[in-house]
Structure 1
Amino acid sequence: MAKYDDPLLISIAERLESADPGIRRVATMELVDSPEPEAVELLLRALKDPDANVRLEAAKVIDEFDAADMTEALVDALTSPDEHVRNAAAHALADLKDAAAAPALIAALECDDPFVIAGILRALKPLRVNASKAHALTFLAHVDSGVRREAVGVLGYLKDEQALPQLIKVAADDTDQEVRRTAIGTLVFAAPHLVAPALVKALSDEHWQVRVEAANGIGRLKIENAVTPLMSRTEDEYWQVREKAVESLGKLKARESISILGRCAEDPISNLRKAAIAALGEIEDAAALPYIERALNDNDPDVRKIARWAMGKFAA
């Protein structure tokens, strides 16, 4: 057993050797009270305890530690047979946000476990270290969709336009809708003219969440030549797609969409009515006034509130 100077750690280390899992569990709980870096060694031991309750307690304790001091322990914990431990370690790694940990994280990518790889990539995202780019590009072709999704995220955080061709290809061709959705979401860092075709194409994706992401991206980047395909999405079978298309039409101040937005302002779904009235207010065209005025009597107080705001845009 390792030797410790801190009396609390000495006590915890002794109790972690107990044959009684209840004693080991309580000792694990007390790890949060130690400020010593050596406490990580004991936490790692608890994460590998043969008793599931001790491992679960250790997983809870992870979030109380300064993750920057325990990168290697967290990476090791990703291989735990206990799902609670793996998930807690992945969550703690994601909160790491310490560039000094990047070399250790990148080195740990040399493994075959998709869960471990995905967890490490997730931790690398906010670090924005260029050394992670080559690995992320390689993992875009990984058999596991979770790995591909996190690799896309790494490239999105790096905001490197050189990776755009690969991201655009993933957005169009990946077999997993969540990977495609994530890829579409990353494209908003680029210049509008570089990604407009990909975003417009994604408005017709077979999965509604990808279409939502595409409509949102078009609005954020204010891609003016996408007004017509956006208007077609106001008739999408999913109201979430219709809502985002309506919001983006407002951001684009698309006067040609006023009558369509007016129809959406009378939709049974209140979220869509709110989005439509807000969009009409953003456009600030007199042709929108009749629709906004009718909304002043809507049965939803939130719709009425937005309608009053929209009317104020004309009075200003």
Structure 2
Amino acid sequence: MRDFSDSLLNEIAERLASTDPGIRRVAVMDLVESSEPEAAELLVAALKDPDPGVRREAAKIIDEFDASAMTTALVDVLTADDENVRNAAARALSDIKDPAAAPALLEALDNEDPFVIAAILKALKPLRVAEAKPAALRHLVHPDPRVRREAVGVLGYLHAPDTLDALKKVGSDDSDDEVRRAAIGALLFGEPPVVADTVVRALDDAHWQVRAEAAVSLGKLGSVDAVPPLIGATRDGYWQVREKACEALGKLRAIVAIDCLGECAGDAMSNLRKAAIAALGEIAHINGRPYIEHAMNDPDPDVRKLARWALGKLNTAI
């Protein structure tokens, strides 16, 4: 057994070497009491303990440690048999956010386990290292949707213009709803003339969450050409899509959308009414006054509050 400079660590290390798994589990809990960097070594050893109870206790306290010093060990733990341990290691890796960890993460991508690949890509995402771009592009066609989704996330964070065509293809053609949704959201870093057509087409996607994401993205892109299709989206079969379309039209200050927003302000779903009134307040045009004034008597107090705010915005604009 290694001799640590900290007496508490030496005592914990001795208990972690016990043949009694109960003693080892308690020793793991005591690791959080040490502020010494060497404590991470004992945690990594505990994550590989033969007893699943010890491994689970170790997984619970991963977040208490400096994960940047544990990158390689955490990657190894991604292949653990215990799902709780695997998930804890993946979570810790995604919290590293230190570009110095990138080389070890990129090297570890040479793996056949989709869970491992997805976890590493997720950890690479916030690092924003250019070296991750080829790997992310390569994994856009991986058979596992978890991997493709995380690859999209890496490219979305990198903001590299030469990846827009690949992201547009994924947003239009991928077989997985969540991957398409992620790709539509990732396109936000592109210039509207380059990406708006793809995002507008996503308003007709088969899955409502993709359509909702498209509405959100169009509002953020600020393309006035998106107004007509967004007006159409206020009549979508899912109120969640209608809500996001209303919000986008408000961001775009779309005066031509006032009447359709007024219709949404009379919907049975209060969340949709709130979005519509908020949008009318953002537009702040006299034609929206009747709808806003009507909302002053809405049964939902949040709608009434928004109506008072919207009326104030309108009065200020006039």
State the match for 1:84 in structure 2. Answer: 84
Residues in 2 aligned to 1:125 and 1:62: alpha-carbon distance in whole angstroms? 20
State the match for 2:224 in structure 1. Answer: 224
Residues in 1 aligned to 2:78 and 2:213: alpha-carbon distance in whole angstroms? 30
Pairs within 5 Å for 1:14-163: 14-163=14-163
SS at match of 1:203: helix
Pairs within 5 Å for 1:198-217: 198-217=198-217
1:47·1:54 contact (CA, 8 Å) conserved in 2? yes
State the match for 1:176 in structure 2. Answer: 176
Question: Cα deviations across residues 239-284 of structure 1 (Å, max 9, x unaligned)?
Answer: 1000000111111111111111111101010010011111111112
Residues in 2 aligned to 1:30 and 1:67: alpha-carbon distance in whole angstroms? 18
SS at match of 2:22: helix
Task: State the AA in 1 paired with 2:114.
Answer: P
Instruction: Kindly report structure 1 stretches of 4+ aligned residues shifted beyond 6 Å.
Output: none
Question: Cα deviations across residues 106-140 of structure 1 (Å, max 9, x unaligned)?
Answer: 11111111111111110111100000001001011
Q: CA deviation at 1:51?
A: 1.7
% same residue: 64
Task: State the AA in 2 paired with 1:11.
Answer: E
Residues in 2 aligned to 1:75 and 1:2: alpha-carbon distance in whole angstroms? 23
Task: State the AA in 2 paired with 1:133.
Answer: K
Residues in 2 aligned to 1:314 and 1:36: alpha-carbon distance in whole angstroms? 60
Residues in 1 aligned to 2:199 and 2:172: alpha-carbon distance in whole angstroms? 9
Q: CA deviation at 1:41?
A: 2.0
Residues in 1 aligned to 2:222 and 2:76: alpha-carbon distance in whole angstroms? 44
Segments of structure 2 that go 5 or more residues without pairing to the other structure are none
Q: CA deviation at 1:37?
A: 2.5
Residues in 2 aligned to 1:24 and 1:72: alpha-carbon distance in whole angstroms? 23
If the length of structure 1 is used for normalisation, what is the TM-score? 0.98
Question: Cα deviations across residues 148-205 of structure 1 (Å, max 9, x unaligned)?
Answer: 1000000000000110000000000111110000000001111111100010010000
Residues in 2 aligned to 1:107 and 1:181: alpha-carbon distance in whole angstroms? 28
SS at match of 1:2: coil
Q: CA deviation at 1:69?
A: 1.2
Aligned residues: 316
Residues in 2 aligned to 1:118 and 1:36: alpha-carbon distance in whole angstroms? 31
SS at match of 2:250: helix
If the length of structure 2 is used for normalisation, what is the TM-score? 0.97
**Which is further off, 75-84 or 26-35?**
26-35
Task: State the AA in 1 paired with 2:145.
Answer: S
Q: CA deviation at 1:2?
A: 2.9
Residues in 1 aligned to 2:183 and 2:57: alpha-carbon distance in whole angstroms? 36
Residues in 2 aligned to 1:39 and 1:313: alpha-carbon distance in whole angstroms? 57
Question: Cα deviations across residues 88-119 of structure 1 (Å, max 9, x unaligned)?
Answer: 11111111000111111111111111111111
Q: CA deviation at 1:9?
A: 1.7
Q: CA deviation at 1:227?
A: 1.2
